[in-house]
């Protein structure tokens, strides 16, 4: 008698759930710079084909291994296989002693210094900066004050315009329209603990949080899918603490006053006006992104001074990266012709 298809899926479901957490971050790498908890990782291509290295900036909310989940599920692996020199700025996991780190610090002391180190290490004349989610916001802020030769700027699901925050619309309105005092709460915490960050993300995705498990059940008889699901689920459950000083600044300067769009944001004494950006720009949004809808990214297209700029809308959710071992076609087509191919 043939095995019941549902029974096979059920067996695969529980087998996947009970398996230990998988290994991630498997692409060979070398640490080329460190600051506090942060590490600048270099991923060398076996066959270098482009002169312009790629500098990746991830968010502060999750760990950066989403960019290197595992074989065939790694944007970093795909970029190196395509011939790019890749650098990843991993901010690390902050401790209570890091509670006073500000947005200025992250942009200048970490991103800017990391870019300088990458340029020196790669012996490159120009660089591509690619930021994801809040890391993309910071990448845009950095590019607006940059003294370094940023040739290409890629903003992936990065919030730029905070006047419309659908996932937190009532909270955002309360913050903008009232004298709600969140500072005292953040000061009392100092470092926002990881469980609080995780709860906030669960609140945004409610009531569809359990949908990943339904997806697993529907495809639990597919071994390749279950392996990727296990790695991705491991990442989604690994939120990290958030420096209170940086969060206060984000809430006030971006969330309440929307200074980045208004051109009034000042970072380390410099005006972070998006009009200062002349780098080639690729802005990426996802059609089903509940966290950062396209309306939050689109204004960047009009605010930057870049002559070469493109907006690309993906079909998917917030974390929409490679799953076939290759650089996504839209990204490969755009980046390859702007990265100085070595003949």
Cα 239 from Cα 76, distance rounded (Å): 21
| Greatest distance between any 2 Cα atoms in the chain | 74
Picking from 314, 277, 326, 312, the residue whose alpha carbon sits closest to that of residue 150 is 277
Quote the CA–CA distance of 181 and 175 in Å, as a whole number: 8
In this predicted model, which residue has the larger pLDDT, 212 or 281? 281
What's the pLDDT tens digit per position in 120-143? 999 999 999 999 989 999 999 999
Whether 19 is in a domain gets the answer no
- Span 268-282, mean pLDDT? 97
Residue at 184 is within a domain? yes
Any idea what the CATH number is for the domain that residue 250 is in?
3.40.50.1820
Compute the average pLDDT of residues 190-198.
70
Question: Domain count of the chain?
Answer: 1
Residue 10 lies in a domain: no
In a domain, 17, yes or no: no
Smallest CA-to-CA distance from 64 within 114, 104, 119 is with 114
What pLDDT is attached to residue 201? 54
SS3 content of the chain, % helix, strand, coil (to 5): 45, 15, 40
> In whole angstroms, what is the distance from residue 266 CA to residue 26 CA?
38
Domain that holds residue 273: 25-338
Rounded Cα gap, residues 196 and 185, in angstroms: 13
Model confidence band, residue 190 (pLDDT cutoffs 50, 70, 90):
confident
pLDDT (average), residues 293-298:
90
Return the percentage of the chain with pLDDT > 90, whole number: 55
Question: Stretch 269-275: mean pLDDT, rounded?
Answer: 97
Is residue 8 domain-resident?
Answer: no
Averaged pLDDT for residues 201-217: 53
Q: How many Å apart are CA 49 and CA 226, to the nearest integer?
A: 34
Mean pLDDT of 131-159: 96
The Cβ of residue 291 has, within 10 Å, a number of other Cβ atoms equal to: 21
Q: Please give the helix or strand (H or E) that residue 315 lies within, else none.
A: none
Q: For residue 108, give the nearest of 137, 145, 136, 133 by alpha carbon.
A: 145
Average pLDDT of the chain to the nearest whole number: 83
Residue 3 included in any domain: no
Q: Does any domain span residue 76?
A: yes
Residue 202 lies in a domain: yes
Which span out of 40-44, 58-62, 248-252, 320-324 was modeled with the highest average pLDDT? 40-44
Model confidence at 206: pLDDT above 50:
no
Highest mean pLDDT among 94-108, 203-217, 313-327: 94-108
Residues 6+ apart with CB under 8 A from 248: 182, 183, 186, 187
């Amino acid at each position: 008698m043939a095995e019941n298809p549902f029974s096979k899926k059920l067996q695969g479901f529980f087998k996947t759930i009970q398996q230990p957490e998988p290994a991630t971050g498997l692409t060979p790498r070398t640490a080329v710079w460190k600051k506090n908890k942060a590490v600048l990782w270099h991923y060398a291509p076996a066959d270098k084909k482009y002169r312009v290295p790629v500098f990746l900036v991830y968010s502060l909310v999750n760990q950066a291994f989403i960019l290197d989940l595992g074989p065939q599920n790694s944007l970093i692996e795909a970029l190196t296989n395509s011939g790019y020199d890749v650098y990843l700025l991993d901010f690390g996991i902050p401790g209570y002693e890091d509670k006073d780190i500000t947005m200025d610090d992250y942009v200048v002391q970490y991103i800017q210094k990391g870019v300088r180190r990458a340029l020196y290490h790669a012996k490159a004349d120009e660089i591509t900066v690619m930021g994801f989610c809040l890391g993309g916001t910071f990448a845009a802020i950095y590019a607006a004050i940059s003294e370094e030769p940023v040739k290409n700027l890629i903003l992936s699901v990065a919030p730029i315009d905070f006047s419309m925050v659908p996932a937190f619309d009532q909270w955002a309105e309360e913050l903008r329209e009232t004298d709600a005092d969140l500072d005292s709460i953040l000061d009392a915490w100092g470092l926002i603990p990881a469980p609080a960050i995780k709860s906030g993300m669960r609140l945004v995705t409610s009531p569809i949080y359990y949908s990943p498990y339904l997806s697993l059940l529907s495809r639990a008889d597919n071994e390749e899918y279950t392996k990727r699901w296990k790695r991705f689920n491991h990442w989604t459950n690994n939120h990290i603490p958030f420096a209170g000083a940086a969060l206060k600044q984000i809430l006030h300067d971006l969330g309440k006053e929307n200074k980045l769009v208004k051109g009034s944001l000042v970072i380390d004494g410099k005006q972070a006006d998006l009009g200062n950006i002349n780098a080639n720009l690729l802005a990426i949004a996802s059609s089903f992104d509940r966290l950062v809808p396209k309306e939050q990214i689109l204004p960047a297209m009009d605010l930057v001074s870049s002559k070469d700029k493109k907006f690309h809308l993906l079909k998917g959710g917030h974390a929409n990266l490679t799953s076939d071992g290759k650089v996504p076609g839209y990204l490969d087509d755009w980046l390859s012709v702007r990265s100085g191919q070595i003949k």
